[in-house]
A and B are shown apart, each in its own frame.
Chain A
Amino acid sequence: AQSVTQPDIHITVSEGASLELRCNYSYGATPYLFWYVQSPGQGLQLLLKYFSGDTLVQGIKGFEAEFKRSQSSFNLRKPSVHWSDAAEYFCAVGSIQTGANNLFFGTGTRLTVIP
């Protein structure tokens, strides 16, 4: 079965600084990869996804992520963080068989943005 590790429980960055959130997965084949954001009291919103093709994917709100098969990673990046980016970020993986229909989530990274 697949699994996801988000090594950073909590990250604090200054507004305007760059951001990278780490995600490592365990799966024997090419996974379906997702990043979601959860603001307080809100549901999960999809930032971006990778199924195949170009390993650098662009998402909403200026986020991007790069799939690196050799490192089993799918790190999320943003060049300049805004105060509104403060939220909980979840990386998720789906198998070839189930894709988005059965997602395994990491434990999340809470992002704090300071002025």
Chain B
Amino acid sequence: SAVISQKPSRDICQRGTSLTIQCQVDSQVTMMFWYRQQPGQSLTLIATANQGSEATYESGFVIDKFPISRPNLTFSTLTVSNMSPEDSSIYLCSVTSGRNTEAFFGQGTRLTVV
């Protein structure tokens, strides 16, 4: 199994600002992902964080809004840019070692935009 640490665990931000969320894994992993869980909603995949290359975004999510970095096999960041109240969600980092494995999740970052 993988132990995933996310920072910060929660934050309250002003609209128009940006927040960078960090995800640290205790071992090298092949795949890292970022999900969003809006209030009362399910989890939705934002993007796959690719090591050494640009992230792959799902439909409805763009790099300018959610820039992602993955400098190595144990670390990734997600930035929520130019925030609005609609960005208030829980953001979760997830890792797998391939499609035939399971996905492990961090504890999430609860973001409130005011």
Contacts and interface: CB of A to CB of B under 8 A. Distances in A.
Interface of A: 4, 32, 34, 36, 41-46, 49, 51, 90, 92, 94, 97-103, 105-108
Interface string B20-46: 000000000001010000000111110
Nearest to B9: A41
Interface string B94-114: 001011111111111000000
Contacts, number: 61
A114 to B, nearest CB: 23
A12 B67 CA distance: 41
10 contacts: A41-B107, A43-B105, A46-B102, A46-B103, A90-B43, A100-B103, A101-B99, A102-B45, A103-B43, A103-B45
Given A43-B4, A44-B92, A46-B102, A108 B42 contact: yes
